[in-house]
Amino acid sequence: MHQYQNTLQYAQQQDQTDPLRHFRSRFLIPQHTDKPLVGLPLVDQPLTYLCGNSLGLQPVAVREALNRELEVWQNHGVEGWFEGEQPWLYYHRYCKEPLARIVGALPAEVCPMNNLTVNLHLMLTSFYRPTAERSKIVTIGGDFPSDQYALETHIRCRRYEPDEVLVEVKPRTGEYTLRTEDILRTIDTHANELALVVMSGLHYYTGQVLDMQAITHHAHQFGIPVGFDLAHAVGNVPLHLHDWQVDFAVWCSYKYLNSGPGGVSGIFVHEQHHQEELPRLAGWWGYQEDRRFEMTKGFVPMAGADGWQLSTPTILALAVHRVSLALFEEAGMAPLRAKSEQLTGYLEFILRGINQKYGNPIAIMTPANISERGCQLSLLVERRGKELFDRLVAEGIIGDWREPNCIRLAPTPLYNTFEEVWRVGEVLEAFYSGSKG
């Protein structure tokens, strides 16, 4: 086990020997203006930004990438789709290989496109195929609201009632997180009625990573397809979607993938489904690429995941996405994961020290087992929770608040430091000791 120390010297030493430390300079860190003493000038300091689980920071190279595509638009107009070194017509291709490495897939199995909930509806159209005998869906209770709303409305569009179709797995009484055996047992109980298993791979509120491989393998024993929302998992935890035999997955790119507010989503469709005539909602950009501009009647899909595309892609959003994916390619998921485990482990160590000293004011909902979590730790603060959150913000530490009493902090390996985590501990110490430091 790593021997952490709650000292500034230790934190700075970890940062000095961090092989990924130079990536921090590849991001634009928001600034925090310190309150000065009387007569002294304002001093801008970088924020301690621990909110990559909600919106990742802007890579420095984004502006240049956007300007490059704006110049293509300026100089070529509509011919930008076909002219230049990197025609827009093929832009999704430029992202496929790095995306595939991040999620553990074949390039043909992934495609950047649309937004997350749009893609979830598209996947439900293809993989939720209810029958008179099998119409139910296993999911997790309290999943991200957009997923809940997508399932609810999609089920109604199929002329079923959500209360009759959805089977929700919830944590046991007195526990914060789900047990894999409870998910598998629920699948067993309803196996003859199930048409689909779909849920988040990493729970947004608790930060728990589910055992996606075990869930998929178990459901497949009954012939039940499985899909995951990876919004909080992609670019955060190791994924092996192809080897796990996951049927489909969707994700967004604006959290750990740092691709801008509302950035382009992505899908995974396992190659075993590429030759199937699955039901789908189609659009012209998913039509066979070499014949797309013939404008003929009758949809003929592109091969692989690309055939689920709908509309003309947003090139500026894809340009931002490419910049961030290039950083992941350079850093590598294995080194990022190794640093993430140490960085989040250091935050856990700091928090446990505060609890030991001040009578356990903070409950860590996220599992202690590193294989069951990513960057994020979710803190349940029953007393003075919002006051503590506001104190962190005032001190330039940005996490996020979830009602009624949850603070989420996510030290991200691409741009966060051990010294920043140590600083969180200093603010917590001052808060609970009652000092103004």
Q: What is the pLDDT of residue 35?
A: 56
0.75 surpassed by pTM: yes
Q: Domain check: are 326 and 358 in the same one?
A: no
Q: Domain check: are 272 and 240 in the same one?
A: yes
Give CA–CA dist 392/114, Å, rounded: 35
Q: Is residue 51 part of a domain?
A: no
Q: Domain check: are 268 and 389 in the same one?
A: no
Closest by Cα among 331, 407, 398, 406 to 57:
398
- If one counts the domains in the chain, the total is 2
Q: What is the pLDDT of residue 84?
A: 83
Q: Is residue 35 part of a domain?
A: yes
Q: Is residue 3 part of a domain?
A: no
Q: Domain check: are 121 and 268 in the same one?
A: yes
Q: What is the CATH number of the domain that holds 338?
A: 3.90.1150.10
Q: Domain check: are 33 and 79 in the same one?
A: no
Q: Which domain holds residue 374?
A: 8-46+333-433
Q: Is residue 53 part of a domain?
A: no
Q: Domain check: are 325 and 191 in the same one?
A: yes
Q: Is residue 31 part of a domain?
A: yes
Q: Domain check: are 360 and 213 in the same one?
A: no
Q: How far is CA 4 from CA 19, 215, 346, 347, 371, in A?
A: 18, 34, 7, 10, 19
**Among 290, 314, 331, residue at a domain's last position:** 331
Q: Is residue 308 part of a domain?
A: yes
Q: Judging by beta carbons within 10 Å of its beta carbon (0-12, 13-18, 19+), is residue 155 exposed, middle or buried?
A: buried
Q: Judging by beta carbons within 10 Å of its beta carbon (0-12, 13-18, 19+), is residue 114 exposed, middle or buried?
A: buried
**Among 262, 297, 331, residue at a domain's last position:** 331
Handedness of CA 200, 125, 96, 253 (dihedral sign): negative
Chain centroid offset of residue 330 CA? 19
Question: What does DSSP say about strands 166-169 and 194-200: parallel, antiparallel, or unpaired?
Answer: unpaired
Q: Is residue 429 part of a domain?
A: yes
Q: Which residues of the chain have pLDDT under 50?
A: 36-38, 40, 42, 437
Q: What is the pLDDT of residue 37?
A: 47
Q: Domain check: are 235 and 133 in the same one?
A: yes
Instruction: Answer whether 140's CB lies under 8 Å from 151's CB.
Output: no
- For 68-210, strand residue ranges (E) read 110-112, 136-140, 166-169, 194-200
Instruction: Answer whether 222's CB lies under 8 Å from 251's CB.
Output: no
Which amino acid appears at position 91 of this protein? Y
Q: Is residue 167 part of a domain?
A: yes
What percent of the chain is predicted at pLDDT more than 90? 92
**Among 331, 353, 370, residue at a domain's last position:** 331
Q: What is the pLDDT of residue 434?
A: 86
Q: What is the pLDDT of residue 301?
A: 94
